Structure 1
Amino acid sequence: MRASGAIASLKDPIVADARRRLAAGAGESGACFLADGARMVRQAIEARSAIHVVFFLDGVEQDEDRQVLDLARQANLPCHLLQPGIFFKVLDLGYRTSVGCLAVVSRPPPAPLEDLPADACLLAGQSIQDPRNVGVLIRTADAWAATRAVFSADSADPWSRPAVRSTTGSIFRVPLTLSGDLGGELKRLRDRGLAVVGSSAHSRRPVWELDLRGPVVLLVGNETAGLPPDLLDLCDQAARIPMTGSAHSFNVTVAAGILLYECQRQRAGGWGTSA
């Protein structure tokens, strides 16, 4: 903690550097994203994420923020107090919240899709536009211990604040890949023995009839349009999730959760029985 007290200027080199890193786009040198709130910052530290700096609201009044400060110091992370006006400028919301600490975290490099385990289960999303859906998909992948989460490059940024907050911390645990050629990635994964299973309301086969016990990619599509024909053609099988009510479709995050649940159910010995 800086001996001179809380930082009071956006021009301070520490604050200016953090804001520059947060403004950098994916692939730019030093690009970072923001983890805000004690629970998120704690998870970033516990996951040993590459944290550039941790900021605390001057006074550190909340118990959970003080606990995070102790944890950050134990991890030898740079910690600084910010005056309220500066703190909420870094948070960049235009209004004040109850948040009392922030971590500026380096965007990780894309997770490699090689050297996958024999029981690999990947969750892939094509053109997922809502950052909150991207975040919940990452959280869902984490809940079912998916090996990777893969998104097409035209999906919402998984390191944007709405996406990161929607992961509730799973962003620090799930290896992510953004692909400029999702179809090409799927072909390469198929060539290496992974089955590609797409979610489609037009399939005749309910998801529990498909064998998901082997290495698999579970593929979900855009919130409105679903999977395009070219990606459906790449699927080894398409899975239908039966609905008995009046809704037209499931939200993409719900569909992904059902697919991942069925995969884990079968691997736990439930293959050959309906859900």
Structure 2
Amino acid sequence: MATPTTTASPEDLAKLLLVTQNGLQSQAAQIAHRQNIINVWGGISPGTKVLELGCGQGDCTIVLADAVGSSGSVDAVDPTPPGYGSPFTVEEAHRHISTTILGPRINWIHADSLTFLPDNAPEPTYDIGILCHSLWYFSSPPTISETLRRLRLLCKMIFIAEWSLTASSPSSYPHVLAALTQASLECRKPQSESNVRTVVSPAAITKLAEDAGLKLVNEGIVENPGEHVYDGLWEVGAVSGKIFIQEIEKNVKDERERAVVHALRDATVKSLEPLPRGVKDVRSMNVWCGVFEKA
């Protein structure tokens, strides 16, 4: 596998994204986090043809575009409606990135993964398929497995990065609990729009990949993603709020099931007690990175 090839600094890449001036520090932290993920994967060579599923507003896309160089390309796929997002919509974010120096390397594709991916492909079209912090947005484990099966046909290798459900410090433990709490609620909704829809652990991802005809050839962990990677703080804040209690009462009708979700929320809130500033001191959990190839 190639050595790391990202050359731009997180700060320089953050300036290419459509963010408010006071959001540059957080955005640079997200960029640095994704550069670390690429390093754990083993790097991406210049000239690589990449397919990214779940690109969102382009946080990881722009890092990939930097890594593949002027001779490479990134096809970035996401099903999010173009008008979704705040303070900038997905369409505005993509359009802005397209005007930057890295824009010509990126092809934005608005589509659901299974709609975009062919059911059969005679030979790989891409060098690498990327799923970076996107699996938890999928509707179910079978959907993940089918997506990986189709990716196996279209890509020579598949790189996956997802929250590991492990914590290296007490400050990131609440994020683990919050993710499980959200998942316990969202799986009881007929339709979910949460950031946490289907929680799958590294072991579960590996099993789903094996079912799809893939084998794990390398794995690693990004520990303590960084002080300004706020995913943990956001998720714990959402679970701790009163609106979440209202969502439980609205969506969980069975008393025993409701008690489980409340208990998980209570555990999340209790885990904040050792932190001097409560939610403000929450850090994001570790991230698992796996590299797969055709079995």
Q: TM-score, normalised by structure 1?
A: 0.30
- Structure 1 or 2: more helix by fraction: 2
